[in-house]
Amino acid sequence: MLLTRKNDRLDSRSTEELTIDELIRLKATLESSETIERYERMNRPKRGGVVFGFVPLLLLYLFMECRKTTYRGVVRNLNAHECECLGFPRSGNGRCRRPSAATLNHFVNHVLAHLDEEIGIEVAREVLNECGLLFTIDSTPLQASRYNFNADFNVHYNIRMDKAHIIMAGGFPVAMIQSGGNAGDSPFCIPLVRRACGISHGLMINEFHADGAYDAFRTYAHVYIATGAVMRCNQGTDAVCSGVDDERIRKEYNGMWKTDGYDPHMKNDVDFMLRFLYRHGNVELVGRYIRDRSMELDEKEGKTNARHVCETVHRAMKRWIEFSIFRLVKGTKTIRTRCRFLCLQLLATLFKGYTEG
């Protein structure tokens, strides 16, 4: 996949609507997608009938989400110039045909719903090649109607909601997991980190930042083992060190001299010992050690506010499209949220400042 060139990207926007001429800059990126090319090759249309391509329908759906309208609304309001830019087929009289609302609905819920994650992984892999290696993780509320009794009521936000747990690289949303509105943040850290590492082919991360909701020993340990980074967390003012230093790690390691994989020549390699202890079940001890190192970095360098890139981009994303579960029915809520997340990933590659670490 070939991303939009940096000099062709749009300035970071706030509330103004995207025009079709701006959105069409993503066309070359989508047309270079191996996932889309494979789908179209395996689903060649039969002779007869009007066929709308995958990329034009995806761009139309993205246009719909940016305009915060409905399937019927976006189709009804398309003009001739927009149809031509999207690349819809022409009729016998030379006019562009436009898909019906049902066609677009079927495309989103039955075609894109099966390919959104694959396309998102393609986009993320390309972005990781050009953005900085500063990773952040946080959750953001997906607001629901107050009459939606299938959604949890969160007393902190005072709304009914779901949660979107998102891991970012240089401000680019790499992966997302949707959960109930009262789910904790820390349990979703590990699956998100694993997804990010899988997308980046095991890329070692330089920095990893999170807020106080992720301040758990096991989370520190899992993040370090997966990424090689010491997680920086906004710890409470009453946080204290556990007192686990290199000597304590060495003592625990030497005490397992009968265990498979023990190497007496590696007792001065802290990273090797930590990974050995982790593999053999001493996860909390490893987490205590890494948390102490994180507190030392905070004391030496000062507490960082790098994680606030999450909150900044979350606010921007909700201006780009309606990133919520408001007016979404239960049966398609998860599908639409995933498809909207793909829209956010595509838009993040289109704007300057969100993929430049």
298-325 pLDDT per residue, tens: 888 877 666 677 888 888 899 999 999 9
Q: What is the pLDDT of residue 176?
A: 97
Residues 162 and 150: their CA atoms lie apart, in Å, by 10
Q: What is the pLDDT of residue 203?
A: 65
Q: What is the pLDDT of residue 239?
A: 82
Burial class (CB in 10 A: 0-12, 13-18, 19+), 132: middle
Unique residue bearing structure tokens 């915060």: 68
Q: Which residues contact 346 (CB under 8 A, 6 or more apart)?
A: 26, 29, 30, 62, 123
Helix (H) or strand (E) holding 268: none
Contact status, residue 99 vs residue 52, Cβ threshold 8 Å: yes
Q: Dihedral, CA atoms, 317, 58, 337, 137, nearest 10 degrees?
A: -50
Contact status, residue 207 vs residue 135, Cβ threshold 8 Å: yes
Sign for the CA dihedral angle at 11, 355, 6, 317 comes to: negative
Unique residue bearing structure tokens 């949660």: 163
Q: Which residues contact 177 (CB under 8 A, 6 or more apart)?
A: 164, 165, 188, 191, 192
Q: What is the pLDDT of residue 165?
A: 97
CB atoms within 10 A of CB 159: 18
Q: What is the pLDDT of residue 357?
A: 42
Q: What is the pLDDT of residue 219?
A: 95
41-95 pLDDT per residue, tens: 998 877 666 689 999 999 999 999 999 999 999 999 999 999 999 999 988 888 8
Contact status, residue 199 vs residue 126, Cβ threshold 8 Å: no
CA 37, chain centre distance (Å): 23
Unique residue bearing structure tokens 């997608």: 33
pTM value surpassing 0.75: yes
What is the chain's pLDDT, residue by residue, as a tens digit (357 residues)? Answer: 778 777 777 776 555 678 999 999 999 999 999 999 999 999 887 766 668 999 999 999 999 999 999 999 999 999 999 999 999 998 888 889 999 999 999 999 999 999 999 999 999 998 887 665 789 999 999 999 999 999 999 999 999 999 999 999 888 999 999 999 999 999 999 999 999 988 877 566 778 999 889 999 999 999 999 988 999 988 777 788 999 999 999 999 999 999 999 999 999 999 999 999 999 999 999 999 999 999 999 888 877 666 677 888 888 899 999 999 999 999 899 999 999 999 999 999 988 765 444
